[in-house]
Amino acid sequence: MQRLFLSALFSLLIISGQAQSEVKRPKLVVGLVMDQMRWDYLYRYYARYSETGGFKRLLNQGFSCENTLIPYAPTVTACGHSSIYTGTVPAVNGISGNGWWDKEKMRAVYCTEDKTVSTVGSSSTLGKMSPRNLLVTTICDELRLATNFKSKVIGVAIKDRGGILPAGHSANAAYWYDNTNGNWITSTYYMNELPKWVTDFNSQKIVEKYYEKGWNIMYPLTTYKQSTADDKSWEAKPFGAVFPYDLKKFIGKDYGKISTTPMGNSMTFEFAKAALTAEQLGTDEITDFLAVSFSSPDYIGHTFGPNSVEAEDGFLRLDQELGAFLNYLDLKVGKGQYTVFLSADHGAAHVPEFMEENRLPGGRAYIGKLVESMNKGLKEKYNLSGIIVSDDNYQIHLNHPLLDSAKAVKAEITEWIIQQLLAAPGIDRAFTLKDLNTTPLPVRIREMLNNGYHPARNGDIQFILKPGYIDAYSTTGTTHGLWNPYDAHIPLLWYGWGIKKGKTNRETFMTDIAPTLAALLHIQMPSGSTGAPIPEVLK
């Protein structure tokens, strides 16, 4: 009897020891990236955010890194998503823009294009995408490696690059929106046919239901005191002049307009919840990862500007839906059983005409037209057509095969282009990239440009716009992409399992997110990571 008791006690001690030695992790990590969210939106609309909404819950019950910056330029969507999840900059991860000029292929390349794969879930070509242009692993890849690929990883976004790049190379799936037919799709990189839950979601024709309701403001117009008047000449008008916006005319005709409304966020939340439930994410002891990007703030911001009623209404609605999503995670995964971070891929400049109206510096630089003019001048001067092949990512790319075959004087042509750039309205600096580290510049700006430079995917001449100026293609709306705080200062909120309550004003960086997650999960940092964990965040 005593021997039996000792044997049972010994077995219990072994089991207890094994339990104590297990690495503790949350059941689920949820990454939420707001496409085009300036840091100041957290406080600009704070008084109007709901007490049961998402932003106050994350701010007051979680941890806020108040001074989080993007450490590179250009500050655009693909770079932002890849840098958050890889813990490194474009100079290392290779995603140097939403697209770039490929010197070998002599054509523009889109960040997630992959001609070797096919669309799954649609007859369009919008699914010919994969993460193969990303040169390093993401934190999602590292989680998969750490669990011997037992963790599930799902990426979700309206934009393909917002779903694909965060999820990484080894993801179980990434899904994005096909604006030609209103379906959520993927590619053969991940699977050969859509899961039943995705086809069931698509069969709901949810976009048409949103169009049926239209878009009207949540509250009386007079309460939108943080916004300009509803009708401003510098706003594009895809739906009409003023609220309410009747969207019924788009039913069955234009599935893309949903992206420029708050209902694009609603649709993304609904798809993310469907993925969470159907894929049983966070239902066992093996940590899963759901990477969700919300594309609609970017479409709304570009179209109407940061000071518009549309932008304010969009974030007030987003706040309420974020709160509902956190409640859904409580229900499905369990309170305190999941970890959330919320950040943004970039901010945005104020609309130049808004700045001018308020006697603030800013304007539009029409770089595309300038390039056309310069190519025309170069043709007249050197009898060579198409010397400048691209102005992607605030850089001028030269046609080197043409210049080599013509035995043209590259140095002379380069200097001529630089002088033309410097004479153009809105351009503050222009210099060859080979001279980047000897050109007089503030250290931070030089470092950001170096961090954004990948030799195989970057150009010959860098230009920098004056503060408040944007690279414009039209006379309405705004954009982003520069080193300035309005583009590079982003929110970073943490919440849930393993997260302290509080805030820090210490300078942190977008590239610190993945290393912090790696520390939280006790896994290796991504293969190109140059960031550092944020110790204040972790319990």
C-alpha distance across the termini of the chain, in Å: 45
How far apart are the C-alpha atoms of 357 and 363, rounded to whole Å? 11
Q: What is the 3-state secondary structure (H, E, C) of 169-188?
A: CCCCEEEEEECCCCEEEEEC
- Cis preceding linkage at 74, omega within 30: yes
Helix axes 309-332, 54-61, angle to 10 degrees: 70
Give the alpha-carbon dihedral of 451, 455, 461, 465, to 10 degrees: -30
Contacts of 262 (CB under 8 A, 6+ apart): 215, 296, 300, 313, 314, 317, 318
Report in angstroms the alpha-carbon separations of 63 from 31, 54, 90, 104, 467.
Answer: 15, 13, 27, 46, 31
Pick the closest to residue 158 from 74, 80, 266, 247 (CA basis).
266
- Cis preceding linkage at 131, omega within 30: no
Residue among 68, 75, 77, 261 flagged as catalytic: 77
> Residue 116 catalytic?
no
Beta bridge pairs of residue 68 = 490, 508
CB neighbours of residue 288 within 10 Å: 27
CB 336 within 8 A of CB 496: yes
Rg (CA), the chain: 25
How far apart are the C-alpha atoms of 508 and 515, rounded to whole Å? 12
Active-site annotation, residues: 77
